[in-house]
Chain A
C-alpha cells in the first residue's frame, strides 16, 4: 500500500525524476504492474482531472502530472506486457485539416493516457484518409478530433463523413473538442460526444471504452 501511495503522490506532485525509481521499487517489492497502474497512477490522474475541472489547478500543473505519469509508465510497460495487462482502449487523436494548434490535443491525449487508454497521435492538419488509415492499422475504437478555429471546425464533419463513406463510422466513437465548439455543433455534425475540457474528455472516453 505504501508503494502505491508513493507513486500516486509523486504523480500528483508531478515529480518526473523520482517517479521512475518509485515504480521500480514497487515492482521489485512484488507489487503487480496492474495494481500500480489501476490503484496508483490512474487514481492520481483522476484527482488531477477533478482539480482541473474545478479550476483549482490549470494546464501546466496537469501537464507536469501527466509527464510524471508518462515517465512512470515507461518503467511499467514491460511489466504490464508480462502480466498480460492491456490498455482499456485505443484512440486515434489529431487536430483536423487546416489547423496547426496542438496544445489542446496534446492535453487530451495525456489525460486519456491517464485513464489507461492507448493513444495513436497522428498530429495536426489531418484529413479523413489519414484518420481511416490509423483506425484500420491500430484497431482503435475511439477517434478524438480537435479544432481551434471557427474556420476549421467544419473539417471535423468532413472526417466524420469520410468515416461514413469508408463504412467504419459504426465501428468507432467520435469525440470532438476545441475552444470554438459547442454541444449544438457536435450534435449537428454527428459526433458521439463533445467535452469542454480535457478531464471530461478522459471521463467520457473511459466510459466509451468500458462499454465496448
Chain B
C-alpha cells in the first residue's frame, strides 16, 4: 500500500498515513490532540481542521493523497480547581494513592502518609478519543472491546506513578483507592459495561471491590480497591463526594448538584440520600454549542454585559476562541437580564449574539442550554418533591463537578439552573470526589455510610418529571 505524507503546518512535521485512513485516527496516533466529543460521528463539528485551505471535519476525512493540515490553536491545558492542599511532605519507601477516574479527566493523588496529600496529577482520560460521554464509551466498548479502552488508561497511570516514584523516591506501592462513575469503573476492572447502555441499565457490579495491581497490568504490586457506587448512573465518585458534604440540621435537607453531561443530583439528610442522574447533555463542556469548548486555553469563563451592552469578557490563554460552561451560563444570564433573550428563550437578534470576534451565541445554542438547564432543574425539583421538601427546608446547596468552583451563583440563579432563593445557600465543593476518596483511603471515613442510605430514582419513571421538564425549559 502507498504511504501518504501529511504535513502539519503548525509545527512543520511530516507524518505518514495509509490510503483510505481517517485523518482523525492518523492525527491522534501521532500525538496531536483533536477534540472529538461525539466520538468521531461527524455530528459535533469540534474536530474541524484546515486541509489544503479548506475547513473539514477530521473524523469525516478519509485520505487519498498527500495533504497539508493546519490544526486549530486549541490549547490542551486542563483548568481544574484542586481543592486539595499539597504538602510535598512525602517521606518513606511505600506510597499510597487516591485515584478519581472521570470520564473527561483523571486525577491521581499521592497520599503523604499522614493526613494530607503530597501531590496531585491531573490528566485527560485517554479514552476521550472515543467520545466525551459515557454512552459513547459504551458504544466504543461494543466495537473495539473493553481492553482497547482500559489499557491506555492503565499505562498512563503507571507512567505517572513511575515519575512520582523517581521524584519522591518511594520503592513500593501499598494501595490505590479508586473512585469513578459506574461505567469508568467497569472499564477499569475490565468488566463488560454494555448493559449500562440500555434500560434497565444493569451494572455488573456496584459495591466495593478489591484486587491487585499486577492483575490490572500495572508494573508493580499493590492493593487496588474501588469504592462502592449507588446505581448505574450515580457512581462511587458521587458517593465519595457526598462523604465530604456536611449534614443539615435535624428536619432540614441539603442538596448536591454535580454539573456534567450526566448530572448527578442528591437531596439528603442524616437518614436518607435521594439521588438521581439527569441527562443534561454535553452543553457545559461545549460539545453541542456552536461556539462551545471545554475549559482549556481560549475559553471564555466570565461574561458581563456592561453599559451600552458592550461585552466584558474574561478568558483563559492568549485569545478568546469559544465559550466554556461557566461562560455560557454568564452569557445567558446577562442576555436575560437585558431582555435580549425573552422568557421563552427567544433571542431577539436574528443572526445570533456576537460575544467577541468569531464567537457568536446562536438561537440553537440557547435552545440546547434550555434543555440542559431544565434537565438539571427538573431533576432537582423531582427529588425535592420525593423528599417532601420545600425550598425553605433546604439548608445548603453543594455545587460539585469540574467547573463548580468557577460558576457564578448569580448567573446560575438568573438562568434558573437553581432556584433564586438558594443564591445565599450555595457552597462550591471543588474536586469533592477525590477528596472523599482520600478520606476513605486514609480510613477517616467510609463511602459505605452514604451508599447504605441511598435511594436512587429513575427520572423517566417519575410521572411528574415530564411536566416539570417542560415547566423549566423556559426562564
Contact = CB atoms under 8 A, between A and B. Distances in A.
A61 B466 contact: no
A184 to B, nearest CB: 8
A150 B460 contact: no
Most chain B Cβ neighbours within 10 Å, of A124, A149, A150: A150
Nearest to A51: B346
A161 interface: no
Interface stretch (A36-44, A52-60, A114-122): A52-60
Given A55-B364, A55-B367, A150-B139, A99 B199 contact: yes
B197 A149 contact: yes
A126 to B, nearest CB: 11
Interface centre among A60, A98, A124, A152 (most CB of B within 10 A): A60
Contacts of B346: 55-58
B473 interface: yes
A125 B199 contact: yes
B344 A102 contact: no
A182 B466 contact: no
Q: How extensive is the interface on chain B, given as a class? A: 20 to 34
B367 A182 contact: no
B151 interface: no
Contacts of B139: 150-151
Nearest to B139: A150
B385 interface: no
A97 interface: yes
B136 A98 contact: no
B138 interface: yes
A99 B198 contact: yes
Contacts, number: 67
Nearest to B474: A60
Interface SS of chain A: helix, strand, loop or mixed?
loop
Contacts of B158: none
A168 interface: no
Interface residues of A, number: 26
A98 B135 CA distance: 13
A63 B367 contact: no
A132 to B, nearest CB: 21
A148 B460 CA distance: 12
A124 B459 CA distance: 14
Query: Among the interface residues B43, B197, B199, B346, which one has the most CB atoms of the partner chain A within 10 A?
Result: B199
B458 interface: yes
Interface string A7-36: 000000000000000000000000000000
A103 interface: yes
Contacts of B144: none
Given A103-B466, A125-B199, A59 B460 contact: no
Nearest to B346: A56
Nearest to A61: B344
A106 interface: yes
Contacts of B82: none
A98 B139 CA distance: 14
Nearest to A64: B470
A60 B344 contact: yes
A58 B198 contact: no
Contacts of A150: 41, 135-136, 139
Given A150-B135, A151-B138, A103 B469 contact: yes
A133 to B, nearest CB: 20
Interface string A111-145: 00000000000001100000000000000000000
Q: Could you say which of A99, A149, A155 has the most chain B C-beta atoms within 10 Å of its C-beta?
A: A149
Nearest to A124: B460
Contacts of A148: 279
Contacts of A182: 41-43
A57 B41 CA distance: 29
B136 A55 contact: no
A55 B290 CA distance: 15
10 contacts: A55-B363, A58-B367, A58-B370, A60-B471, A60-B473, A98-B197, A101-B279, A102-B460, A150-B41, A150-B139
Interface of B: 41-43, 135-136, 138-139, 142, 194, 197-199, 279, 344-346, 363-364, 367, 370-371, 458, 460-461, 466, 469-471, 473-474
